[in-house]
Amino acid sequence: MNTIDLSRPTGLMLALLPSLVLTAWSLVVLLVIGWRHRTEADSRLAGIVSAIGVGFAGLATLWMWFSDIRAAGVPHMVYLDGYRYSAELLVLFVALTTCLLSLRFMGRQRLLAPEYYALVLFATIGMQLMVSSSDLVLIFLGLEVMSVAVYVLAGYDRFRRSSAEAALKYFLIGAFASGFLLYGIALTYGATGETNLVLAGRVLAGMPASTLAQVGLGMLLIGFGFKVAAVPFHMWAPDVYDGAPTPVTGFMATGVKTAGFIALVRVLNDGFPSLTDLWQPALAVLAILSIVVGNVVALAQTSMKRLLAYSSISHAGYLMVAVWAASPAGHMAVLLYLWAYSLTSLAAFGMVAAVEHVGARTVRIEDLEGLFRTRPWGALSMSVCLLSLLGFPGTFGFIGKWLIMSATLEHGQVVLPVLVGLGSLVSLGYYLPVIMAMTMKPERTPEVHRQVLVSKAGKVIIAGAVAAIIFLGIWPRIPLDLGRRTVESMTNAAVVAAEQP
């Protein structure tokens, strides 16, 4: 273990190394874009350069993880522990996949503006800050960096009104949510005099119940609820997911959600450990609503992207259940579920992007009919993804569901795991018809799937993700081991208190 002192600038620079690498690299990307920005090849060049940068940031994260760099004492501004590194890797993985999946897609949809990739990198930097920060102000900063970039990305398809609508809707509601979050931060600061989560938590634990802090907590929950699209703060999600270019939808569904949930885990467990009795019921309500509304409304969807949007709302509900547990098992469930969900969703959105017709309004379920006959591997991959989202044994998604159920059952809580089970039962009702459409129904017209185009990078990503989903579903020892050690290494208030008598 290498400890570094976060109160000194050099220490802080080292602690933020992956974000700094990516920031520097995104400036390089901007230069490259300024130099070449006319043809599809130029756009691809920017994409590849961006992907390389994300790879470097990932290497930096891995290096920090392997050399086990930890903070001495209270983690000022950023956490340095396995939980952060693994979440940061996930965010970077999402960014890498998004860049690679966009390479052909953007050209195909005639979206020749390579700034796209720079925006993906900016959003990723924001996400990195969110998953690593131990300070409310830095969380807000990361959130804004991420959100502003994603607002633009959502409206990137200039040829479609729905994309512009998505961007505007996302921007208005997102700004509103940011306001809540900022207000929550201000109130928390007002109550405790601290913005550092660990210190604020310590102050809160040592003082009588304060209305200020309680209202602040509520505001924070609302802000996060908007960002992760939990019911009743989900209204924007279906339209935005549907309108945004498909790779961006995948990016939002996985990256933004990861950043939001990891930050939420930190805020609640380190910042408000003494108010657990207050936020657990609130989370339970959010979880129940998200699971019920997300799953039930998804049943009525005909558009693939809307279906996945509602399914992602229900997954936010499952994740809320895991956050509710507020135990090491729960933290581990959040992390592994996010990995499982992101792997699966990225592959699924990759397939949807491949099927999408040029200039089509959206991808409907019936557009997938008969896909198996022309694209057997694609259809099978998509089926595996949907089964994993469903939580079917033999897939990584099942491992995630199992961890969530165990984590809550260990608390003696029965309603939430039963609800998770019922949720996946209902979700069978909308995943199964998609599988059925792909594998069992005939094509609408003989030419319907001629346009299907999976780029080489897309093939590698989808095949790799599907292989990983199955392999990790059958042999989940590596992620489980890693997850457990990661959670054990978590810096939290108790650890810090023990270190500083």
Partner 1 sequence: MQALLQSIGYQHWILNVLLLLPMVGVVLVLVAPERWARWLTLVVATAEFVLALGLWWAFDSATGGMQFTTSLPWLPEFGIHYRIGLDGLSLFMILLATAMMPLLVWGSWFAIDTKVRGYYALLLALKTGMIGVFVAMDLFLFYCFWELLLIPMYFLIGTWGSANRLYAATKFVVYTFAGSVMMLVAIIAMVVLVGKGTGEYSFAYDHLVQNRDLLAPWAPYLFTAFALAFAVKVPIFPLHTWLPDAHVEAPTAGSVDLAVILLKMGTYGFLRFAIPFFPAFALSAPVAAVFVTLAVSGIIYAALVSMVQPDLKKLIAYSSVSHLGFVMLGIWGGTVESVQGAIMVMIAHGLSTGALFFLVGMLYERRHTRLLSEYGGVARVAPLLGTAFVIASFASIGLPGLSGFVGEFLILLGSFGRYPVATTIATIVVVFAAAYLLRAVQQVFFNPLVGAENKAMHDATPRELAVLVPLLAAMVWMGLYPQPILRRTEAAARRYVETVTPYLTPGVRPPVTTAAGDAP
Specify the amino acid at residue 379: A
Of 418 and 460, which has the nearer Cβ to partner 1?
418
Q: Does residue 12 belong to the site contacting partner 1 (CB under 8 A)?
A: no
Selected range binding partner 1 among 216-224, 245-253, 257-265, 478-486, rule: CB under 8 A? 478-486
| Least separation in angstroms between CB 290 and partner 1 | 18
Query: With contact defined as beta carbons under 8 Å apart, do 204 and 192 qualify?
Result: yes
- Considering only CA atoms, which of 357, 380, 343, 251 is closest in space to residue 304? 357
Q: Does residue 162 belong to the site contacting partner 1 (CB under 8 A)?
A: no
| Least separation in angstroms between CB 417 and partner 1 | 5
- Vertex 196, ends 60 and 137: CA angle to 5°? 75
Number of residues this chain uses to bind partner 1 (CB under 8 A): 30
Q: Does residue 406 belong to the site contacting partner 1 (CB under 8 A)?
A: yes
Residue 216: count other Cβ atoms within 10 Å of its Cβ: 27
The encoded tokens of residue 11 equal 């220490």
- Considering only CA atoms, which of 219, 237, 259, 255 is closest in space to residue 312? 237
For partner 1, the binding residue among 481, 485, 494, 499 (CB under 8 A) is 481
**How far is the C-alpha of 466 from the C-alpha of 108, rounded, in Å?**
24
For partner 1, the binding residue among 37, 364, 441, 459 (CB under 8 A) is 441
Residues 6 or more apart in contact with residue 43 via CB below 8 angstroms = 37, 106, 107, 112, 113, 114, 116, 117
Residues 6 or more apart in contact with residue 335 via CB below 8 angstroms = 83, 86, 87, 262, 483, 486, 487
Of 276 and 413, which has the nearer Cβ to partner 1?
413
For partner 1, the binding residue among 172, 205, 422, 494 (CB under 8 A) is 422
Specify the amino acid at residue 498: A
Cross-strand partners of 71: 4
Cα–Cα distances (Å) from 11 to 8, 16, 76, 78, in that order, read: 5, 9, 10, 11
For partner 1, the binding residue among 428, 452, 453, 497 (CB under 8 A) is 428
For partner 1, the binding residue among 188, 246, 258, 424 (CB under 8 A) is 424
| Least separation in angstroms between CB 440 and partner 1 | 5
For partner 1, the binding residue among 360, 414, 467, 494 (CB under 8 A) is 414
For partner 1, the binding residue among 418, 460, 467, 494 (CB under 8 A) is 418
Of 56 and 392, which has the nearer Cβ to partner 1?
392
Which segments within 304-457 are labelled E, that is strand? Answer: none
- Vertex 93, ends 88 and 94: CA angle to 5°? 100
Query: What are the counts of helices (DSSP H) followed by strands (DSSP E) for the chain?
Result: 22, 2
Specify the amino acid at residue 29: V
- Report residue 495 CA to chain centroid gap: 27
Q: Does residue 205 belong to the site contacting partner 1 (CB under 8 A)?
A: no
Q: Does residue 292 belong to the site contacting partner 1 (CB under 8 A)?
A: no
| Least separation in angstroms between CB 336 and partner 1 | 13
- Assign 219 to helix, strand or coil: helix
Per-residue x/- track, 78-117, partner 1 (CB under 8 A): ----------------------------------------
Per-residue x/- track, 337-376, partner 1 (CB under 8 A): ----------------------------------------
Which segments within 11-93 are labelled E, that is strand? Answer: 69-71
Cα–Cα distances (Å) from 320 to 159, 332, 335, 439, in that order, read: 37, 13, 12, 33
Of 105 and 324, which has the nearer Cβ to partner 1?
324
Of 26 and 383, which has the nearer Cβ to partner 1?
383
For partner 1, the binding residue among 477, 498, 500, 501 (CB under 8 A) is 477
Q: Which residues 371-400 are close enough to bind partner 1 by CB under 8 A?
A: 387, 392-394
Interface residues with partner 1 (CB under 8 A) are: 387, 392-394, 402, 405-406, 409-410, 414, 417-418, 420-422, 424-425, 428-429, 432-433, 436, 439-441, 476-477, 480-481, 484
